[in-house]
Amino acid sequence: MGKNILVTGGAGFVGGYLCRALKKKGHMVVALDNMSNGKMVNVPEGVPLIKVDLASRKLSQTLTGYKFDVVIHCAAQSSNAISFKFPHEDLEANQLGTLNLLEYCVAAKIKRFIFTSSMSAYGQPKQLPTKESYNCQPDSFYAVHKLASEHYVRIFGQIHKLNYTIFRLYTTYGHGQNLSNMEQGLLSIYLGYILKKEKLIVKGSKDRTRDIIHVNDVVRAITASLFNSKSFGKVYNLGTGKRLKIGRIIELLTTGLGYKKGQYPVVYIENTLGDPFDTLANIQEAKKDLSWKPLISAEEGIRLTVGPYQKKG
């Protein structure tokens, strides 16, 4: 039987994919978004959209009249770079927004809460692949606020018997990312430059590595955890357990759009503050508890991502 599910950030990239998947499974889905980075095109037909800022004290009032069984919290300001420019705004969007949402869940007697955190919480990990038990040392305000939000979720879980699951997302990509935001989303930033036929500006070395995961694999893991009691009170990495060099990611993007290898102009500049050199997820816990594994390789995922753009022109 379908459940009533609230997806915050439902007009965003991951949230939009999640809304579609949940609706397809027969759930009654409501999207919530402040539309700072979301787009109406991401909200599936038949899914109501509530426009409100999670940091607002009017959140509970806005949600009066709704009854939810599950809250999936995807809403975030998710750029390390932007968090350095606007740390107060980042705190409000990520930390205060999470706190307000948790308080709403307690007041509304909602017992299931899923939170999408970030691998940025680890900082510059010395252990690769990185386990969930690794001592987090965040290097950006965004990462600090994400990690603090994890602790809010954990403490609320302990005090109010909230069945929570936390997912630390690695570099998530796929078709439909906001290409106009040039400070959020590694592959979408690169794709934004290429589609505008501008010189590709890369912050950091081409030898940096990233564990990149297609959004469909992320959504499958989240939906697999929905009513799985093994996942209650747990933190999981969501990556592929494989990594690519930045240079290879750029090669796949450019050749996928019809350029010859090495043909597209790329300029490497100074690294973004707080940006790790290497990322690689240990995903054994998610595999074991959720009977899940990533199905989409980087090569296939990037082909799916750029394909629609290639057809247009």
pLDDT over threshold 90, residue 127: yes
Q: Write the burial class of residue 276 (CB in 10 Å: 0-12 exposed, 13-18 middle, 19+ buried).
A: buried
Residues 111 and 218 placed together within one structural domain of the fold: yes
Whether residue 249 sits in one domain with residue 219 = no
Tell me: do 228 and 300 sit in the same domain. no
Q: Are residues 66 and 120 in the same domain?
A: yes
The verdict on 122 and 146 lying in the same domain is yes
Say if residue 313's pLDDT is above 60.
no
**Which of 100, 97, 192, 212 minimizes the C-alpha distance to 146?**
97
CATH number for position 269: 3.90.25.10
Residue 181 counted as domain residue: no
Is residue 31 assigned to a domain?
yes
Query: Within this chain, do residues 130 and 201 fall inside the same structural domain, yes or no?
Result: no
Q: Tell me, yes or no, whether 259 and 112 share the same domain.
A: no
My answer on whether 135 and 202 are in the same domain is: no
Cα–Cα distance for residue pair 226/220, rounded to 1 Å: 10
Do residues 119 and 168 lie in contact, with contact meaning Cβ atoms separated by under 8 Å?
A: yes
Question: Quick check: is 178 in a domain?
Answer: no
- Token digits of residue 295: 């199905």
In a domain, 180, yes or no: no
The DSSP secondary-structure symbol of 132 reads T
41 part of a folded domain: yes
Tell whether 179 is covered by a domain. no
Query: Residue 275: which pLDDT band, with cuts at 50, 70 and 90?
Result: confident
Task: Read off the CATH number of the domain in which 17 is found.
Answer: 3.40.50.720
> Per residue in 133-147, pLDDT tens?
999 999 999 999 999
Q: Which tokens in the block code for residue 235? A: 């933190």
Are residue 78 and residue 51 in the same domain, yes or no? yes
- Mean pLDDT over 180-206 rounds to 90
Give the CA distances from residue 98 to residues 138, 156, 191, 293, in Å, rounded to whole numbers and listed in that order: 18, 11, 30, 28
299 in the same domain as 236: no
Same domain, residue pair 107 and 149:
yes
What is the phi-psi region of residue 96: left when phi exceeds 0, alpha when psi lies from -120 to 50, beta otherwise? Answer: alpha
pLDDT (mean) for 295-306: 96
Per-residue pLDDT of 146-188, as tens digits, reads 999 999 999 999 999 999 999 999 999 999 998 887 777 899 9
Domain count, the chain: 2
Which residues are CB-neighbours of 135 under 8 A, at least 6 positions away?
none
- Residue 232 and residue 262 in one domain: no
Task: Measure the CA–CA gap between 30 and 8, rounded to whole angstroms.
Answer: 9
What percentage of residues in the chain have a pLDDT greater than 70? Answer: 99
Show the DSSP H helices in 161-281 as ranges: 186-195, 215-225, 246-256
Residues in Cβ contact with 86 at an 8 Å cutoff, skipping those fewer than 6 apart: none
| Domain span at 136 | 4-173+214-240+286-290
